[in-house]
Amino acid sequence: MSRSRNRMDAPLDIALAETIRLVICDIDGTIVRDDKSLSRETVEAVAAAREAGIAVTLISARPASGLGDLVRELGIRGAVGAFNGGTLFEAGGEVIEAHRLDPANAREAVRRLDAAGVPVWVFADGLWLAQGEDPHHGARERKAAAVEPTIVEDLSPWLDRADKVVGVSDDHPLLERMEREIAAALGDGANVVRSQLYFLDVTARVANKGDGARFLAEAHGVHLSQTAAVGDMPNDIPMLERAGLGVAMGQAGEAVRAAAGFVTETNEADGVARFLRRLVEARRGA
Measure the CA–CA gap between 227 and 229, rounded to whole angstroms: 6
Q: Which of 184, 204, 224 is the last residue of a domain?
A: 204
pLDDT at 284 over 50: yes
Domain-located, residue 114: yes
Domain-located, residue 4: no
Domain-located, residue 281: yes
Domain-located, residue 127: yes
> How much is the average pLDDT of 36-52?
96
Measure the CA–CA gap between 40 and 48, rounded to whole angstroms: 12
pLDDT at 4 over 60: no
Q: Are residues 127 and 264 in the same domain?
A: no
pLDDT at 1 over 70: no
Helix (H, G, I), strand (E, B) or coil at 188: helix
Domain-located, residue 2: no
pLDDT digits (tens, 9 = 90+) for 235-261: 999 999 999 999 999 999 999 999 999
pLDDT band at residue 210 using 50, 70 and 90 as cut-offs:
very high
Q: Which of 160, 178, 204 is the last residue of a domain?
A: 204
Give the domain extent around 136: 103-204
Q: Are residues 114 and 92 in the same domain?
A: no
pLDDT at 286 over 60: no
Q: Are residues 108 and 248 in the same domain?
A: no
Return the pLDDT at 188: 93
Domain-located, residue 3: no
Q: Are residues 190 and 273 in the same domain?
A: no
pLDDT band at residue 3 using 50, 70 and 90 as cut-offs:
very low
> How much is the average pLDDT of 218-239?
96
Whichever domain contains 79, its CATH number is 3.40.50.1000
Q: Are residues 57 and 81 in the same domain?
A: yes
* 39-41-44 Cα angle (round to 5): 115
Measure the CA–CA gap between 183 and 83, rounded to whole angstroms: 17
Average pLDDT, the chain: 92
Q: Which of 204, 231, 263 is the last residue of a domain?
A: 204
Whichever domain contains 160, its CATH number is 3.30.1240.10
Predicted TM-score (pTM) of the model is: 0.85
Calculate Rg over the CA atoms of the chain.
Answer: 18
Domain-located, residue 8: no
Provide the number of structural domains found in the chain.
Answer: 2
**Cα–Cα distance list, 65 to 34, 56, 62, 93, 238 (Å):** 19, 19, 8, 9, 24
Q: Are residues 137 and 155 in the same domain?
A: yes
Return the pLDDT at 135: 78
Q: Are residues 255 and 188 in the same domain?
A: no
Return the pLDDT at 8: 63
Return the pLDDT at 23: 98
Return the pLDDT at 6: 56
Return the pLDDT at 17: 87
pLDDT digits (tens, 9 = 90+) for 145-169: 888 999 999 999 999 999 999 999 9
Q: Are residues 233 and 191 in the same domain?
A: no
Return the pLDDT at 145: 86
Whole-number percent of the chain with pLDDT over 90: 81
Domain-located, residue 6: no
pLDDT at 139 over 50: yes
pLDDT band at residue 54 using 50, 70 and 90 as cut-offs:
very high
Q: Are residues 93 and 215 in the same domain?
A: yes
Q: Are residues 65 and 112 in the same domain?
A: no
Return the pLDDT at 206: 92
Q: Are residues 87 and 223 in the same domain?
A: yes
Q: Are residues 157 and 80 in the same domain?
A: no
pLDDT digits (tens, 9 = 90+) for 179-191: 999 999 999 999 9
